[in-house]
Structures are given as structure tokens and as C-alpha cells.
Structure 1
Amino acid sequence: MQFLGKSTVPIQGWTEGVPVEEKALQQLRNVASLPFIHKHVAVMPDVHWGMGATVGSVIPTVGAIIPAAVGVDIGCGMMAVRTGIQAEDLPDNLHAIRSDIEAAIPHGRTDNGGANDRGAWGAPSPDADWVFSTKLMDRLQVIVAKHPGIARAAERAPFHIGTLGTGNHFIEFCLDEAGAVWVMLHSGSRGIGNKIGTYFIERAKAEMRRWFINLPDADLAYIPEGSELFDDYVEALHWAQEFAQANREVMMRSVLGVLERHFPGKLGNVDEVAVNCHHNYVAKENHYGKNVWLTRKGAVRARKGDMGIIPGSMGARSFIVRGKGCDESFHSCSHGAGRVMSRGEAVKRISLEDHAKATAGVECRKDEGVLDESPAAYKPIDAVMAAQKDLVEIVHELRQVICVKG
């Protein structure tokens, strides 16, 4: 653990051997200066600057939540399952499997997210009834009745369940150290989570203006506990986190359906080793003798025994891990490798040839549209894992053979 500075409270980091940019450190200092931070701010080795708050940070608060620290991809996270398929079962050419996955799960975004968006279903998802039979839709309507500003996004929610999204969201097939095939995917709460996030971020900023509260960064606008707005935000936040988890479960069912067609009878018991974990969310937890609102912004819960997923970049290894329950990290670990280049910088600096070399052996897109996700845009995953050896132990090491990017 490294001491990275102090404002009102210390900033403690697991960053030895990995770069930490100055603008990310300034963001962390701004967060640590707030009067309701409990004990310290914890920094994961994949830390980098992010919209609202630093990605790879763990923020314990008492009496308030910062909506922009949670962000707009509420409940974003990972799911992974181990199948009974073995490396020797895979064909030499994996393109057909990748194409079938891309056909089975809407991904990307067109038409400004409108009716012709290729990243949504053209009609309510085939799995919408299954998901919303859990009363998710009834609860969403209660939220919309109080906050009509999210109504349009709420109408689109049934069209988004079971869809991947854009950016760094992905679906991968990986092989573990024993040659078993894993399915791993990364996504969140889609358009409705984005709208809930942006809506309450603006409401929080309006409250700061109303009470003449000056902050070191306007994105640190907070909602105080005990207010009606706080209760409404927590209600919507928890709804979006549940939606995100359900979204991953629906996608996983679709991917496994593709695999069943390609490898009939070989899936095995996929529930035996399965992990579904958030890495952008808020939970009420007890740390250092205090009940706190713990915001994990690009971090995974890693209590002693907790299973988690830490993906590398395209072409890099990924890891299934078990938490060690480190108190100082608020029982957390990194959520991935962490960017070292902005998306714009990556497109300018990484060539198609560089990308092809870095993803050799992986069935994936090799075109300009994914240069911002190429391995060189991220920190070396080995360095990230070494920096957090006190936080998690590695259970399985995975290498990608297929990658579908949003």
C-alpha cells in the first residue's frame, strides 16, 4: 500500500509499479477534501482519470452520495461461466462462432439510440417478459412517476435488456490453464442506467447551486442523506444495479445458446463456476466500525472469499480471483487493467498493424473502429495484478480466443 497524499483524509493506493497520471491524483485529492469521506479514499492499481470521479477509486461516505462518482453506467460489471467445452473441441477457424454471437446479441449504437439503433432490439427483447416478471418494470414505473425526466429511457428499457452496449463492453471466449472454455462478458444498465445517472447528477448540481455550496469540482455535487431526493436516488440506483445484473444474465443465456448449437451436449454445468459482479455501484457496508455508503468506481468487491473478475485488454490475459478481505482497501480490488491512453490518443497513436500484432491469435475485429480498445491503450495487466497481490489471489488465468466488442 502506498500513501498518495492527503486532503481532509488520506489517499491510500495499491499502485506500486503502475503509472498514475497527475490529473487522476488531482481528482482523488478533490474527493478526499469532502467533509463526509470516512477514514480514507482507496485507490486501485487500474486507476485513471474519469468523468465525475477517478476510475479505480473506492469512496466511503457518511450522510451523502456523489452521483457523478457512481457515474452513468450504473451497475456496470462482469459475468463469467466455465463450460464443459475444451480447447480441443474448438475448430481452427473461430470466425463463424464470433459471427453468430454478434448476430445473437445487439451491440454498438446507431440512429442516436433511436428506433433504428442496431444496439437495441427492434421490438421488446425476447427475454423482456422473463426479466420484468421479477417486478422490475413495476418498480421502474414508480420511479418514473416521481421523475418523469427519465420516462423516455424507461420506455426503451425492454428494448435494451440482453444487449451489449458500446465502448469497452465485450463478450469473450477464453481458455483457462486446464484448457476449459469460459464465456466472459462486460456490460451494465444500458440507456436507462445512463439516464438515471445523468438525471440525478444534474439534480445534485442544482442542489449545490441552490444552497450556494462551492466545490473543488462541480462533478462532486452530492445529495445529502435524509432528503427526499436522496431516497429517490438510492431507489433508482438500486433498480439500475439490478437491471444491469439481469442484463448480463440474459446475454449469457443467449451466448450459451449459440455455444449449444455449435457444441451440442458439451456445455456441462455452467452454474458450477459462475461469477456476476458489479464494478460501478454503491452498497451500504460497514467499515472501521461505521455504516457507510461505499462507492466502487471501477472496483470489485473483494471480501475474504468473494469471487471476482479482472479482465485484461483485447489480447491480454484475464483473471478469476478470490478476495483476501483487505480492510484498508475497503474489501476491494481493481476492475481491469486501466487505461493509459484516452480514446482519442489511442486512435492517433496505435496503427492497424500494431493492433493486429497485439491481438494475434484472437478472433476479433482488426479494424480502425476498435483501435481505442487495443491492448496498448491499457496498463500491463501483469503489473496491475502484482500491485494488488495483497487484495486478491488468482484462481484461474484466462486467455482470450474470441472477442466481440461493443
Structure 2
Amino acid sequence: MAYETLPLSTAAPVLSWAGHDLSSEETRMAKNVASLPFVFKHVALMPDVHLGKGALVGSVIATQDAIIPAAVGVDIGCGMAAIQTPFRGEQLEGKLKRIRQEIEAAIPVGFEANKEGDRTVTNWQGWQGFKDLHPGVKRLETKAVQQMGSLGGGNHFIELCLDTEGQVWLMLHSGSRHIGNQLAQCHISTAKELQKLAAQKLPDPDLAYFVTGTPEFAAYWHDLQWAQQYARYNREVMMARFKRIVEQHLAGGKPTKPLLTVNCHHNYAEKEVHFGESVYVTRKGAVRAQESDYGIIPGSMGAKSYIVKGKGNAHSFCSCSHGAGRLMSRSKAKREFTLEDLIAQTEGIECRKDAQVIDEIPAAYKPIETVMANQGDLVEIVATLKQVLCVKG
């Protein structure tokens, strides 16, 4: 599907790959962002677009001379990592439960953190710059070290998957943990205070922004880059532990070389060149999809996931969706579905099946096949995966 231009009377057009009409609330959110004077060219909405805070999740916002901290969000650098292994699906027979138990023992989930120091973590070069972060997070260095290599909660997950050829893939979804959240909160608060002082009228207080050339912009951009690096490395640490566990069961502990490695953010901002101009690109629930980029688009924990290669579509600012996108809120999912529904919808998958994860039930998400059909001009599918094991945050 190609995009459609939404009929909105805004300074910047809104191009949508959603393939359906937005709700009135989603439309209002899109209009709010597109009415900001520093938005460059247009706002691009991905096929999995849904309500967020300030800006829609699944939106790509290119800006000149300004950035909106709440549009990047509080899970700075959240994203996906995947590796294609040389293993075959039949090698997993009878081993899934034990593998899941070992993953849960090696990688803390939810609010948990690592109890022992890991040299891979303590040797990360990013710690040298911790002293230069926002004063509001200075007390959190020990916690940030302990949480490096931990999954977090919500929709974060670790999955063992098979592709259509029966090849084994390792995949996980996580971000910058508590430290990224706190950095975001500090800077969002500063942006809102500045907006109040300037007595500027905004369509939504969550669209408070920083202007280039100011100390506040420089401080936020510095901390944003640090948190994005933390998030990427966090995924690398977890993936290395995950890989070692699988190798222990399938290769007698012998290290193996991945056939393909992908690690991509989907909540972040970078400076990029589009339409011949250098701009700040905020991808709030979107993956970069330049021609040379590999990306990961997961479904829910009972659906397919996709490894993709970007087509470099200029109108999407070289972006694609970051997943299936929620169809209903967590609270609504808990009201609508039962534990029996969860068990039925995750049949054949080695995973938790308890009331605490009902909000992650597959039916709470949009059908991933529809999402993929709506972005044929953004990405090509490299591999189609189906999970056989899932560890939820």
C-alpha cells in the first residue's frame, strides 16, 4: 500500500500508512503535532499507529531547530535485537522448558536487576560519561549498572523462534531501563517549565520542546544519545547471555557464529539528511528503514514476527512500523479476556500462562499480517519467524 494524505488543515501534511481511518483522538493527536511550526515537510504515520503521549506511537516526526522530548518518550532507545543461528528447530525437541528456566535465571525481568557484577557490563565505556548526565540521575549510577542486562516489564520479551526454513532465531525487545526513563522525565519536566515561562500556547503540554542553540537542547541531546547507547548495549549483553544458554543445549557449550545479527532502536531521535536537508528525526514506535538497514517487526507473543530490509522510502523518512501496534489498552485487555483465552491463544508456545500477562494476550494487538501488507513500499521481508518460547517482562 502507498500512503494517503489525511484531510487535515495543518501547517504540515500528515501522510498515513495505517490503511484505516484514525479515531477522533488519534486524529487530534496527529493534528497537534503537524501544527507545530518547526515540523519539516510532513508527519509520517506507520501502519501500527495508535495513541501515545503527546504524539502517536508509530509516528515519524522530522523537525528543524527543535526537538520534543515527550515525542521520543520515556523508554529512550527501546528496540529489538535478533540473531539467526546455525541451529535447526528439531534440535530444540524436549529442551524448551529447561531453556526458558535458564533464561529466566540469567536475565532479570520486570523490576528485577542483576545481583552480581558482570565484567561485560562494568567494562562498558559509557560509564565514563555518567558524571556528565542530568543532575537528577546522579544517585542512580549503581542501579543503572545493576539493570544493564535486564529485560524490564510491559511488552518487553525474549523469544526463541523458527523461520519458515526451520532455522532457529534468538530475538528480544528492551530499552534503557530505569535510567532512560528518569533522564526522559527530567528533561520533559524542564521543557514544560520553559514553555510555561515563555507563556507559549501549545495544543498539548506534552509537546513542549527545546530549541537548538540553547543549553537545554544541548543537555537533552547529550543525555538522549547516552541513553540510546545504553539501550543498544543492554540488548547486546542480554543477547550474549541468551546465546550462551542456547549453545549450551544445542552445541555442547561451543560458541557459534550468527548468520545474521540485527540491533535496532524504535523509540529514539537522530540527526539525518532528508530531502537534501539536515533534520532531527524522532521515531516514536518506528524503525529506520534505509536501503541498507535490516529491521525487526515483531507481532504479539502468539503471532509471527518479521526480519525486514528497508526500501529507503523518502516519504516515510526511510522508516517502517515497529510491531503490530496495540488494538486495545492494557486495562481493556484485562477486562475483556480470561486466563483460558490466554492459554488458548498461546497454545504450543513455551511461556508464562498466568493472569499477570493477560494484558499481553495476542488479541490485544493488531493483526501483524495487515500491518505488513500496508508497508510493502517501506520494507521487504527477509525472514518470517514464529516463536516456540517466550519470556515476558
TM-score by length of 2: 0.96
**Distance (whole Å) between structure 1 residues aligned to residue 256 and residue 54 of structure 2:** 41
- Secondary structure of the 1:39 match is strand
Q: Which residue among 5, 13, 16 is the counterpart of 2:7?
A: 5
**Distance (whole Å) between structure 2 residues aligned to residue 138 and residue 233 of structure 1:** 18
Counterpart of 2:17?
14
**Distance (whole Å) between structure 2 residues aligned to residue 91 and residue 75 of structure 1:** 35
Counterpart of 1:76?
78
Counterpart of 1:159?
146
Residue 266 of structure 1: CA displacement? 8.0
State the AA in 2 paired with 1:214.
K
- Secondary structure of the 1:321 match is strand
Contact 2:113 2:146 in 1 (8 A): yes
Alignment of 1:202-213 (within 5 A): 202-213=189-200
**Distance (whole Å) between structure 1 residues aligned to residue 319 and residue 67 of structure 2:** 18
Counterpart of 1:141?
131
Counterpart of 1:327?
314
Contact 1:168 1:405 in 2 (8 A): yes
- Secondary structure of the 2:41 match is coil
Q: Which residue among 354, 370, 378 is the counterpart of 1:367?
A: 354
Contact 1:83 1:267 in 2 (8 A): no
- Secondary structure of the 2:22 match is coil
**Distance (whole Å) between structure 2 residues aligned to residue 85 and residue 129 of structure 1:** 31
1:67 aligned onto 2:57 = no
- Secondary structure of the 2:49 match is strand
* Alignment deviations for residues 141-192 of structure 1 (CA, whole Å, 9 cap, x no partner): 122xxx3211123331101110000100000000001101100000001111
1:244 aligned onto 2:224 = no
**Distance (whole Å) between structure 2 residues aligned to residue 405 and residue 171 of structure 1:** 7
* Alignment deviations for residues 260-315 of structure 1 (CA, whole Å, 9 cap, x no partner): 22112587744430000000000101111211100000000001131000000011
* Alignment deviations for residues 41-89 of structure 1 (CA, whole Å, 9 cap, x no partner): 0000100001232100000000000000000100000000011111110
Q: Which residue among 90, 94, 102 is the counterpart of 1:92?
A: 94
- Secondary structure of the 1:240 match is helix
Contact 1:83 1:268 in 2 (8 A): no
- Secondary structure of the 1:38 match is strand
Q: 1:257 to 1:41 in 2, by over 3 A?
A: same
Contact 1:322 1:395 in 2 (8 A): yes
Alignment of 1:34-73 (within 5 A): 34-73=36-75
Contact 1:84 1:268 in 2 (8 A): no
Counterpart of 2:204?
217
**Distance (whole Å) between structure 2 residues aligned to residue 93 and residue 275 of structure 1:** 25
- Residue identity over aligned pairs, in percent, reads 52
State the AA in 2 paired with 1:244.
A
Give the gaps of 5 or more residues in structure 1. Answer: 110-118
Aligned length, in residue pairs: 390
1:120 aligned onto 2:113 = yes
Contact 1:13 1:43 in 2 (8 A): yes
Residue 129 of structure 1: CA displacement? 1.9
**Distance (whole Å) between structure 2 residues aligned to residue 93 and residue 121 of structure 1:** 25
Q: 1:292 to 1:284 in 2, by over 3 A?
A: same
Counterpart of 1:383?
370
Q: 1:208 to 1:398 in 2, by over 3 A?
A: same
Moved over 6 A (4+): none
**Distance (whole Å) between structure 2 residues aligned to residue 265 and residue 226 of structure 1:** 56
Contact 1:356 1:366 in 2 (8 A): yes
* Alignment deviations for residues 97-124 of structure 1 (CA, whole Å, 9 cap, x no partner): 1111011100012xxxxxxxxx111244
Contact 2:348 2:388 in 1 (8 A): yes
**Distance (whole Å) between structure 2 residues aligned to residue 212 and residue 22 of structure 1:** 28
Counterpart of 2:338?
351
- Secondary structure of the 2:86 match is strand
Counterpart of 1:114?
none
State the AA in 2 paired with 1:78.
M
**Distance (whole Å) between structure 1 residues aligned to residue 21 and residue 338 of structure 2:** 23
Counterpart of 1:184?
171
